[in-house]
Amino acid sequence: MNRIIGIDYGRKRVGVAVSDPLRIFASALDTVHSANIIEYLQKYSENETIERFVVGYPMNMNNKPSEAATDVDAFLNRLKKVFPDIPVTLEDERFTSVLAHRAMIDGGMKKSDRRDKAAVDKISATIILQTFLDRK
């Protein structure tokens, strides 16, 4: 079955989430070093069919791209070169880190575990993807 991949791209780490085969639920998949994300996605695509990428896009409150958007734009260019036939949807990622921390608290995660930035990135990617899936 085809999967949709959610991506929370950061300069150091990338949170990755995946949809279920019916494209109803998003689940955290992994956190990958930014330098290795394309290779990671290539390896993932060897075993699963990727239908679409949903990439979190950093916006300011005035609806203009934030400074981090430059890094995301560079990543998007690489992604489109390596996967030219897979569509990419941009999803506003404002507040995803706040929502990720809230989910961790609500889920009963210990304070020390909530400091794990890799966990925050995975959960943020899941929120980005679930937002997209809910809208569809």
Question: In this model, does residue 1 exceed pLDDT 70?
Answer: yes
Provide the b/e sequence for 46-83 (b: ≥16 CB within 10 Å): eeeebebbbbbbbbeeeeeeeebbeebeebbeebeeeb
Angle at 122 between CA 128 and CA 5, to 5 degrees: 55
3-state secondary structure at position 89:
strand
pLDDT computed for residue 106 by the predictor: 59
pLDDT computed for residue 95 by the predictor: 60
Domain boundaries, the chain: 2-135
**Best CATH choice for the domain 2-135 from the list 3.40.50.720, 3.30.70.270, 1.10.10.10, 3.30.420.140:** 3.30.420.140
pLDDT computed for residue 90 by the predictor: 95
DSSP letters spanning 24-80 = --EEEEEEEEGGGHHHHHHHHHHHSEEEEEEEEE-B-TTSSB-TTHHHHHHHHHHHH
Q: What is the pLDDT of residues 24-37, one digit of tens each?
A: 999 999 999 999 99
Q: How confident is the model at residue 78 (pLDDT cuts 50, 70, 90)?
A: very high
Q: Please report which helix (H) or strand (E) contains residue 121, including its range.
A: helix 117-135
pLDDT computed for residue 96 by the predictor: 64
